[in-house]
Amino acid sequence: MVKVGDKVRFLNSVGGGTVVKINKDIAYVEEEDGFETPILIHECVIIESAKDKSSSPVTKEIKVSQNFSKIQPNDISENDDDNKLSIIETEEGDRINLVLAFLPENAKNLQNGKFDTYLVNDSNYYIFFTYLNKTESGWNTRYSGIVEPNIQIHIEEFGKEDLNDLERICIQYVAFKKDKPFQLKNTASVEHKLDTVKFYKLHSFRENDYFDENALILNIVKNDVPERRFELNGAEIEAAIKSKKDIDTHQKQAVNKKHHRNNEPVEVDLHIHELLDSTTGMSNSDILNYQLDKFREVLENYKNAKGQKIIFIHGKGDGVLRKAILTELKNKYKHYDYQDASFREYGYGATQVTIR
């Protein structure tokens, strides 16, 4: 039970402090800025009891958004080192999704404020993990522990003086379930190169699925697939672009010849993962524009191939890319015929264009 003097964190929002007054079911919490925040008692998680002020504070903190199981203060036992929780599994949770999230404690003062780091376990698996950063002498462990299924765990608080240490970070993990059979998952080590300048820009923190507040989100694992980051210097990027142009040119010539011989339609997959190895730093708008540029490029290459059929695979999804393609065809390529591609082969996920 929360009482005056307890140090608490808020369950459904970022923040916390020391309880200075209790009125019925409302606790008044004094935060670091000296202001008192009224909050429902059941939305407070005790991280240091008043009677234990002389001992070290609890280092394991758990924060849950509306999309995850709710944790009440009495769910966490001070005498239980594992902080056992009732486990709630979801239908889609047997695929591992791990997210590293950074939240500003004061979005109005990014220059001087602190930031909180959370690991989000959006799966039905327990995740044993280590959170590391790279130094000149090697890798340094910043946190290690276990996060329960469908739970978000607070890893650390840091300030701008720590940002230089966070330019290279890594999450290593092992997934498992307790007291029941489960599908074996591969262990992995996922590195990220953080652009620390983003911590000074408010627009870097965006609306997300896991927190009520805007956050800077880094995907660690998506649907069982660990995220991989590729780091290239300027010379390597230039060489890769030149090489890709040479390959694309060769492939286009080969397709043209095959068409004239076999009169077969050409397939072009516009899914972004088929076009790029990584979309790091790209917004949804950037991705859509890249896909449309590829669409226009293909039509330009085949503009003299009368009768050529081209099938653009765009997928169903939210229909954003499909609508953009149809708009292009109606406005810029009116002389071409177009229709939905074979439903049997592509469902509603492709459009066929015939060059006229």
Burial letters 28-45, b for 16+ CB under 10 A, else e: bbeeeeeeeeebebebbb
pLDDT band at 219 (very low <50, low <70, confident <90, very high): very high
Instruction: Say if residue 194's pLDDT is above 90.
Output: no
Residue 5, pLDDT > 60, answer yes
Q: Residue 236 — pLDDT band, cuts 50, 70, 90?
A: low
List the one residue out of 149, 147, 142 whose CA is nearest residue 165: 142
123 and 216, same domain (yes or no): yes
Residue 73 lies in a domain: no
The per-residue pLDDT for 256 is 37
How many other CB atoms are found less than 10 A from the CB of residue 143? 17
> Is the pLDDT confidence value at 61 over 50?
no
Q: With respect to residue 35, please indicate whether it lies within any of the assigned structural domains.
A: no
Give the residue, 118 or 107, on which the prediction is more confident: 118
pLDDT tens digits along 72-90? 434 444 444 444 556 778 8
Residues 217 and 335 placed together within one structural domain of the fold:
no
Mean of pLDDT values over 167-175: 94
Residues 283, 336 within the same domain: yes
Distance CA 99, CA 203 (A): 19
CATH number, domain of 97, equals 2.60.40.1600
Same domain, 184 and 303: no
Least confident of 9-13, 211-215, 250-254: 250-254
Q: Which of 18, 11, 82, 12 is nearest to 49 (CA)?
A: 18
- Predicted confidence at residue 246, as pLDDT, reads 55
Q: Which helix (DSSP H) or strand (DSSP E) does residue 189 occupy?
A: strand 188-193
Residue 195 is assigned to a structural domain of this protein:
yes
Same domain for 220 and 113, yes or no, is: yes
Q: Which residue segment(s) compose the domain that 330 sits in? A: 265-354
Asked if residue 215 belongs to a domain, the reply is yes
- Residue 279 is part of a domain; what is its CATH number? 3.30.1370.110
Question: How far, in Å, CA of 339 to CA of 233, rounded?
Answer: 43
Query: Does residue 259 belong to any structural domain of this protein?
Result: no
Q: Which residue has the tokens 């459904």?
A: 12
Residues 191 and 99 in one domain: yes
Amino acid 75: pLDDT: 43
Question: What pLDDT sits at residue 111?
Answer: 84
* 102 shares a domain with 215: yes
Query: Is the residue at 115 inside a domain?
Result: yes
Count of structural domains, the chain: 2
Statement to judge: residues 113 and 203 lie in one domain: yes
The answer to whether residue 253 is domain-embedded is no
Q: Can you read off the two tokens belonging to residue 142? A: 């910043």
* 20 lies in some domain: no
- Specify the amino acid at residue 344: R
pLDDT of res. 356: 86
